């Protein structure tokens, strides 16, 4: 009985799926002059079997000049630059104020404005970090190092060890956990692995 019911339901689902997938959906009108594949980046003088990269990208490689201010060029850089402009516009707009106290716009705007206020930052000098520097000066033994590191870690300053969740490299066993020593500006080649 169950096998007949299962077979009947499965067959019905398959026929329904097949019927609806065969229906012709109205095609969206393509924009005039816009092609699905941009052939302007191709070098059609190159045979695809000889050098597929040059065949697909040769036109772009020949025409593209990397700006002196950049280390590369391409769609990823264009998107990065456009995103930076959009984010800058958003941050500038919320920094102007006029939002209700406690709103995310007010908090983000105040934070951004405080970072852009170079006059106040210069006037304060290193006064904001003096309490931390005094804590460092008071370190006398291993126990005081541990207390300092624990306090800094609870405040979100992962100065000795950082723990979190992230994907591992493919060569390592799968695990979402990781810990790492902050690099403190060391070059990649000098960082612990």
- By the 10 Å C-beta count (0-12 exposed, 13-18 middle, 19+ buried), 153 is classed as middle
Q: Where are the alpha helices (DSSP H) in 28-74?
A: 52-63
User: Distance between CA 12 and CA 8 in Å, rounded?
Assistant: 6
**Structure-block tokens of residue 30:** 């393509």
| pTM score above 0.95 | no
Q: Which residues neighbour 64 within 8 Å (Cβ) at sequence distance 6 or greater?
A: 73, 74
Do 154 and 136 touch, CB atoms closer than 8 A?
A: no
- Looking from the CA of 47 toward its CB, the CA atoms found within 13 Å total 2
**Domain coordinates in residue numbering, the chain:** 37-66, 71-124, 126-184
3-state DSSP call for residue 68? coil
- pLDDT score recorded for residue 186: 47
State pLDDT tens for residues 84-140.
Answer: 999 999 999 999 989 999 999 999 999 999 999 999 999 999 999 999 999 999 999
Do 164 and 178 touch, CB atoms closer than 8 A?
A: yes
For every one of its 193 residues, what pLDDT tens digit does the chain have, with 9 covering 90 and above? 666 666 666 665 555 555 555 555 555 555 666 667 888 889 999 999 999 999 999 999 999 999 899 888 988 898 999 999 999 999 999 999 899 999 999 999 999 999 999 999 999 999 999 999 999 999 999 999 999 989 988 888 877 777 666 665 555 555 555 556 555 544 444 444 4
- pLDDT score recorded for residue 191: 44
Do 41 and 56 touch, CB atoms closer than 8 A?
A: yes
């Amino acid at each position: 009985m169950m096998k007949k019911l299962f077979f009947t339901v499965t067959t019905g689902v398959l026929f329904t799926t097949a019927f609806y997938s065969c229906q012709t959906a109205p095609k969206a009108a393509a924009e005039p002059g816009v092609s699905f594949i941009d052939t302007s980046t191709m070098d059609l003088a190159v045979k695809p079997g000889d050098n597929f990269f040059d065949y697909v990208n040769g036109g772009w490689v020949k025409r593209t000049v990397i700006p002196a201010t950049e280390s590369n060029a391409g769609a990823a850089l264009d998107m990065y630059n456009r995103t930076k402009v959009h984010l800058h516009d958003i941050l500038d707009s919320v920094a102007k104020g006029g939002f209700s106290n406690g709103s995310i716009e007010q908090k983000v705007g105040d934070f951004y404005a405080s970072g852009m206020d170079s006059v106040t930052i210069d006037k304060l000098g290193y006064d904001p970090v003096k309490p931390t520097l005094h804590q460092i000066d008071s370190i006398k033994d291993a126990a005081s190092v541990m207390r300092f590191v624990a306090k800094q870690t609870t405040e979100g300053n992962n100065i000795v060890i950082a723990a979190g969740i992230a994907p591992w490299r493919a060569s390592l066993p799968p695990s979402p956990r990781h810990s790492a020593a902050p690099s403190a500006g060391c070059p990649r080649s000098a960082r612990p692995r």
